[in-house]
Amino acid sequence: MKTVKAFLLTGCPYCRNGLKAYEQLCTEHPEYKDIPVEWIREDEYPDVADRYDYYHVPSLFVDEEKLYECEPGQDYDQIYENFDRVLNAAMTQA
């Protein structure tokens, strides 16, 4: 199981949907709760955020590889599907 680094921005509606999707996914898939997730608010830790290649948030990395970067206009269902895909990848990678 790999650690997920999740970059967020305070006040971002896409990030709120990402957090909501994460909570829903952990309810539906309790095994996801075991995945270590490092939540990094880029407005609080800009020095950390500057070391990663992304433009939009939420952005999710597994093993320093970007697996998801939200695109403007994505709805909750799209964000949910991508969070599910990344969490599943983190769980299945050795």
Alpha carbon 19 to its chain centroid, in Å, reads 8
Give the predicted TM-score (pTM) of the model: 0.92
Helix axes 13-28, 76-92, angle to 10 degrees: 50
Indicate if the pLDDT at residue 93 is higher than 90: no
Class of domain 4-92: alpha beta
Residue type, 6: A
Report the side by side order of strands in the sheet with 65-69: 37-41, 4-8, 59-62, 65-69
- pLDDT tens for 11-42 read 999 999 999 999 999 999 999 999 999 999 99
Q: What are the boundaries of each domain within the chain? A: 4-92
Mean residue pLDDT across the chain = 95
